[in-house]
Amino acid sequence: MAGRTLFDKVWDEHVIEDLGDGVQLLHVDRHLLNELSGHRGQLEIAKRGLAMRNPELSIGTLDHVVSTAPGRRGGPAPWADRMIEIFRAESRRAGVAVHDFGDDGQGIVHVIGPELGFTLPGVLLVCGDSHTCTHGALGALAWGIGTSELTHVLATQTLVQQKPRTMRVRFDGAVPRGVGAKDMILALIGKIGTAGGMGYAVEYAGEAIRALDLEGRMTVCNLSIELGAKIGMIAPDAKTFEYAKGRRYAPEGPQWNQALAHWQTLPSDADARFDAEHTLDCATLAPQITWGTSPEDVIGVDAIVPDAKPEALAYMGLAPGRPIAGTKVDRVFIGSCTNARLSDLRAAARIVRGRRVAAHVKAWVVPGSTRVKREAQAEGLDEVFRAAGFEWREPGCSMCVGANGDLVAPLERCVSTSNRNFVGRQGPQARTHLASPASAAAAAIAGEIADVRSF
């Protein structure tokens, strides 16, 4: 028998019933709820007269519509406060633990899941948010769902799914200085396109992936959906187990040993076959930056703007044939489920330390969780950012998606560590350039798109 992939092993052990035709009923081990998508599902099951089947397999937090202004106490407006109240009340009624303001576990769902040990290797985890693929960094099988499927999970603790095909992407070589996880995954999206992973569960492998810490792996897996794949995974290894150990919801004692023994069986077998394979050489990679309105519109920061997609160039206010470096920026956003973890803030702070944000740039740091914020402050990173002229804000999704009104103004140009540069994503007519935290910090200091390797 041919070897099995990590994906196959985790998928197969969650099958409750084969419904025929490649469709299977799967057990959901972990369900992350946020106030925006969560409250709608909660209202929906209440309307149907159903109760949550397994509230103990869910946790909740507040991220999408919360204010991120310093000293915030709720949403930015009454509608948001009402949504938060519904979410709290329904969660309380169902018996779901909510990581609310003042709790270390408040923050972006995809930051707090791993941080709390709620996300573990081999679990099947879902959330009403497309970036749920992030959790695959620990070897979890995780993907984002809409309101109907979310309601299905609340009511049944299961999902009906068609099994996807498998793809492996090998990142070979060691990344050069100034290049990191965000650059690796953006380069892959540029190479195979935003539909390149469509219909696949992707496993990221290779020397450069093994060299990443867990937070870097989360950045890689986070952008799987921008590759067209609902699911991205990385085989758990010693770094993963060390990361998970001792976290709030992680197993302890004999259960830890039992879990560990199981997790060690999960990596793809040496003779496992994938339906598709890609490789990317990391040794020659430059820091990446997007120029258009799709994450696949990406180049090295030392490259020229291509003569392609005229509508995208017009929207972005860029001329083809000119270097992208030197393009003046108005805003810098360091945050989001892609890049708002402690290691991201450290990477940005290394560039910022002892320097000043350009006078015309408004720059924000929005930590991914209350814990990230606390730990960054303990290291004095908040002071580094504030001294340079950054605003140091409260945890939430903020300007990645603007659900709480944190927006880039029309025609303003923003270098952002988030995940989507779609038309209007950060606000109507806003121009978004996706980049790593270090590159975003460099842009804030230079006041223009800049090569972080020269800092």
Closest contact distance (angstroms) between CB of 57 and another protein is 7
Residues 320-349 that bind another protein (CB under 8 A): none
Phi, psi at 313, each rounded to 5°: -65, -40
With contact defined as beta carbons under 8 Å apart, do 142 and 228 qualify? no
Is residue 259 involved in binding another protein (CB under 8 A)?
yes
Neighbours of 304 (CB within 10 A): 15
Question: Which residue stretch of 106-114, 172-180, 191-199, 272-280 sits at the interface with another protein (rule: CB under 8 A)?
Answer: 191-199
Q: How far is it, in rounded angstroms, from Cα 444 to Cα 332?
A: 6
Q: Is 330 helix (H, G, I), strand (E, B) or coil?
A: coil
CA distances 243 to 94, 168, 330, Å, are: 30, 24, 37
Phi, psi at 433, each rounded to 5°: -115, 120
Is residue 20 involved in binding another protein (CB under 8 A)?
yes
Is residue 9 involved in binding another protein (CB under 8 A)?
no
Is residue 258 involved in binding another protein (CB under 8 A)?
yes
Q: How far is it, in rounded angstroms, from Cα 240 to Cα 245?
A: 9
Question: Which residue stretch of 116-124, 177-185, 264-272, 386-394 sits at the interface with another protein (rule: CB under 8 A)?
Answer: 116-124
Q: Report the run of H or E that residue 141 belongs to, with start and end.
A: strand 141-144
Question: Which residue stretch of 53-61, 168-176, 339-347, 436-444 sits at the interface with another protein (rule: CB under 8 A)?
Answer: 53-61
Q: What would the x/- binding string for another protein be over residues 365 to 394, using CB under 8 A? A: ------------------------------
Question: Which residue stretch of 125-133, 172-180, 331-339, 386-394 sits at the interface with another protein (rule: CB under 8 A)?
Answer: 125-133
Q: Strand 158-162 relative to strand 23-27: parallel, antiparallel, unpaired?
A: antiparallel
Say which residue the tokens 């929906």 belong to.
Answer: 44
Closest contact distance (angstroms) between CB of 385 and another protein is 26
Closest contact distance (angstroms) between CB of 58 and another protein is 8
Closest contact distance (angstroms) between CB of 455 and another protein is 32
Is residue 89 involved in binding another protein (CB under 8 A)?
no
Is residue 61 involved in binding another protein (CB under 8 A)?
no
Is residue 290 involved in binding another protein (CB under 8 A)?
no
Q: How far is it, in rounded angstroms, from Cα 34 to Cα 63?
A: 7
Of residues 149 and 451, the one with the C-beta less far from another protein: 149
Question: Which residue stretch of 139-147, 360-368, 381-389, 442-450 sits at the interface with another protein (rule: CB under 8 A)?
Answer: 139-147
Neighbours of 21 (CB within 10 A): 7
Is residue 27 involved in binding another protein (CB under 8 A)?
yes
142 - beta bridge partners? 125
Q: Report the run of H or E that residue 346 belongs to, with start and end.
A: helix 342-352
Q: How far is it, in rounded angstroms, from Cα 327 to Cα 350?
A: 23
Phi, psi at 297, each rounded to 5°: -85, 75
Of residues 102 and 354, the one with the C-beta less far from another protein: 102
Amino acid, res. 5: T
Is residue 37 involved in binding another protein (CB under 8 A)?
yes
Residue of the chain from 89, 162, 246, 380 that contacts another protein (CB under 8 A):
162
Residues 199-238 that bind another protein (CB under 8 A): 199, 225, 228-230
